[in-house]
Amino acid sequence: MSTPALEVRDLSYSYPDGRRALDAADFHIHPGERVALLGANGAGKTTLVLHLNGILRPSSGTVRVAGLEVTDDNLREIRRRVGLVFQDPDDQLFMPTVRRDVAFGPANFEVGGEELDRRVRGALEAVGMEDAIDRAPHHLSLGERKRVAVATVLAMEPEILVLDEPSSNLDPAGRRELAKMLDTLDITMLLVTHDLAYAQALCRRVMIMNHGRIVADGPTEHVLADRPLLAKNRL
């Protein structure tokens, strides 16, 4: 077996107030896989996402990205390897222009000059937003901002792309366009969502999370056909 792109072992986390958000979550994703992580609101999905690049630290358990464990010493390399796209693009896009925003990640990793330019253009082309390069993020539509948000992490050339609720708030056409664009990306992907149609359209493998545990993990058509399982997990 190859080294997993992402390996989460017995991951537990409790908030400072004692609420347990992750309870021995355990799974791994292999390079090239596209996996959906489904769960109702409050199931612990976003908490898990924040562990994947060390923004939150586990109470117990480990996270490994392409074999490298998330520790203080290799936080930088971990953050380069994991491309996190947050739910609200207004949180993700904070620079005055799209060009600067897409360049922010690679520039933090000392990429500069022509290579930086190549990465910025490449990432924007991959999401079909190359024409917006000199526009201000707050002048783009929500769908466009979501695409640019994906480009900001693609420019870091990560090992794995993690998307938190990519389809939220989009109109049906916007959802379809985003799905179509994501489908063209040749990258390992973890899609965190409660949008079943999205999981079905994009992923062959689905995991379900409830109360901080992975309660189901299997081929999409099996998991999504199990109505009682979905209902039990508020999906």
Partner 1 sequence: MSGFHTHALYRHEHSALHGLPSQVKIVSLVLFVGAVVATPRDVLWPFAIHAALLIVAVSIARIPFSFMAKRLVIELPFVLFAVLMPFIGTGERTTVLGVSLSIAGLWGAWTILVKGTLGLGASVLMAATTEIPDILEGFERLRFPKLVTAIAGFMVRYLDVIIGELRRMRVAMTARGYDPSWIGQAGPIASSAGSLFVRSYERGERVHRAMLARGYTGAMPVFERVTVSARDWLTGMAIPGLAWVVAIVSWVVR
Least separation in angstroms between CB 67 and partner 1: 20
With the C-alpha atoms ordered 221, 225, 230, 232, is the resulting torsion angle positive or negative?
Answer: negative
- Closest to 102 (Cα-Cα) out of 138, 143, 77, 132: 132
Beta bridge mates, 12: 60
**CB-wise, 103 or 201, nearer to partner 1?**
103
**CB-wise, 140 or 182, nearer to partner 1?**
140
Q: Is 15 in the site for partner 1 (CB under 8 A)?
A: no
Q: Is 215 in the site for partner 1 (CB under 8 A)?
A: no
**CB-wise, 8 or 216, nearer to partner 1?**
8
Residues in 106-145 that interact with partner 1 by CB under 8 A: 107-109, 112-113, 116-117, 134-139
Sheet of 213-219: strands edge to edge? 82-85, 160-164, 188-193, 34-38, 205-210, 213-219
Helix orientation angle between 98-108 and 113-126, rounded to the nearest 10 degrees: 120
Q: Which of 76, 180, 204, 234 lies at the binding interface for partner 1 (CB under 8 A)?
A: 76
**CB-wise, 44 or 105, nearer to partner 1?**
105
- Residues that bind partner 1 (rule: CB under 8 A) add up to a total of 38
Q: Is 153 in the site for partner 1 (CB under 8 A)?
A: yes
Residue found under tokens 């992923």: 203
Alpha-carbon span 110 to 171, nearest angstrom? 38
Residues in 90-109 that interact with partner 1 by CB under 8 A: 90-97, 100, 103-105, 107-109
Residues in 184-203 that interact with partner 1 by CB under 8 A: none
Alpha-carbon span 109 to 119, nearest angstrom? 12
Alpha-carbon span 86 to 187, nearest angstrom? 17
Residues in 36-75 that interact with partner 1 by CB under 8 A: 50, 53, 55
Beta bridge mates, 7: 28, 64
Q: Are 142 and 174 in contact (CB under 8 A)?
A: yes
Q: Is 86 in the site for partner 1 (CB under 8 A)?
A: yes
**CB-wise, 130 or 217, nearer to partner 1?**
130
- Closest to 22 (Cα-Cα) out of 212, 215, 214, 216: 212
Least separation in angstroms between CB 89 and partner 1: 10
Q: Which of 11, 29, 63, 84 lies at the binding interface for partner 1 (CB under 8 A)?
A: 84
Supply 57's token pair: 């630290």
Which positions touch partner 1 (CB under 8 A)? 50, 53, 55, 76, 79-80, 82, 84, 86, 88, 90-97, 100, 103-105, 107-109, 112-113, 116-117, 134-139, 152-153, 156
